[in-house]
Amino acid sequence: MSVLTHKNILIVGSEHVYVTKLSEVLVAEDAKLHHTSCADFSASLIEELHIELILVNDLIVDPACNEALHMIRDFFTEKAIPVFVLINDDSERIQEVLALGAADYITPQEDHESVVAKMKAVFGQGDAFSGSTAIDISTVDAEVTATGIRVFVVEDDPLLRNLLSLKMDKSKFPYEFSKDGMNVLPAMRQFKPDIVVLDLMLPGRSGFDVLAEIKGDEKLKSVPVVIFSNKDTQEDKQKAQEMGARGFYVKAMTDLSELIELIESLVK
């Protein structure tokens, strides 16, 4: 039986030949599909239908679809509802939707079967995947020898927060999350982290601003900070290093088990 069997999947946006074909493949996996336009999307609809995964068609940029992504991020910060966005291969727009909380993006050039494999991986079936994916999800447990490493994570994506919490629970790492990096220093001081994992693309501010605040704080400046981001430019990597970050890891190139192992190696 497929891990997608009886999963409630909501498809948001206008009809498209790619969506139609993908829908056929998902139906063959016995997934339960629901459809709505971006304008008709609501948080209550997700709760009423018990939605477990969302696909947003963003091939034609629609302000209503942007609003839908905002609503998902704002209303489901505590629930791990993975959001996939079908999007043209435009790097600027891709970064925008990832910053709005999408777990992954799909381009029309991708094979439908590989997209379904990504969806299965989100629910724990199959190997780690790579390519255009925003998060390389591995089902392999991290190999760690230490426990009790206190990890503070600044990350706005609810799916990634949930996946990280599962990995850290298994590794017995105490952790705390900030979803936006706003007024984060008091929470960090109280938590007393051994390491900080920091995304660069946060709602309303840059992760570099958070990094500057950490390094400017007398009680926190010695805490190692690891950048874990979708951004992958040499300029960003150099800036992070100059500002005191101990590492820079790209989500699409680092599975979460590897990240946990890196955290241990930096704190030891």
pTM of the model: 0.56
pLDDT at 132 over 60: no
Q: Tell me, what DSSP letter sits at residue 252?
A: G
Name the residue with higher pLDDT: 110 or 186: 186
- Give residue 92's pLDDT: 79
Taking domain 8-122, whether its CATH number is 3.30.450.20 is answered by no
Q: Residue 78 is encoded by which pair of tokens?
A: 């505590």
What is Dmax (Cα atoms) for the chain?
Answer: 57
The confidence band for 263, taking pLDDT boundaries of 50, 70 and 90, is very high
Residue 63, sorted as left (phi over 0), alpha (psi -120 to 50) or beta, turns out to be alpha
Mean pLDDT of 183-211: 94
What are the domain boundaries of the chain?
8-122, 151-267
Taking domain 151-267, whether its CATH number is 3.40.50.2300 is answered by yes
R_g of the chain computed on alpha carbons: 19
Identical topology for domains 8-122 and 151-267: yes
pLDDT at 133 over 90: no
Residues 94/66, Cβ–Cβ less than 8 Å: no
**Phi and psi dihedrals of 88, rounded to 5?**
-70, 155
The confidence band for 127, taking pLDDT boundaries of 50, 70 and 90, is very low
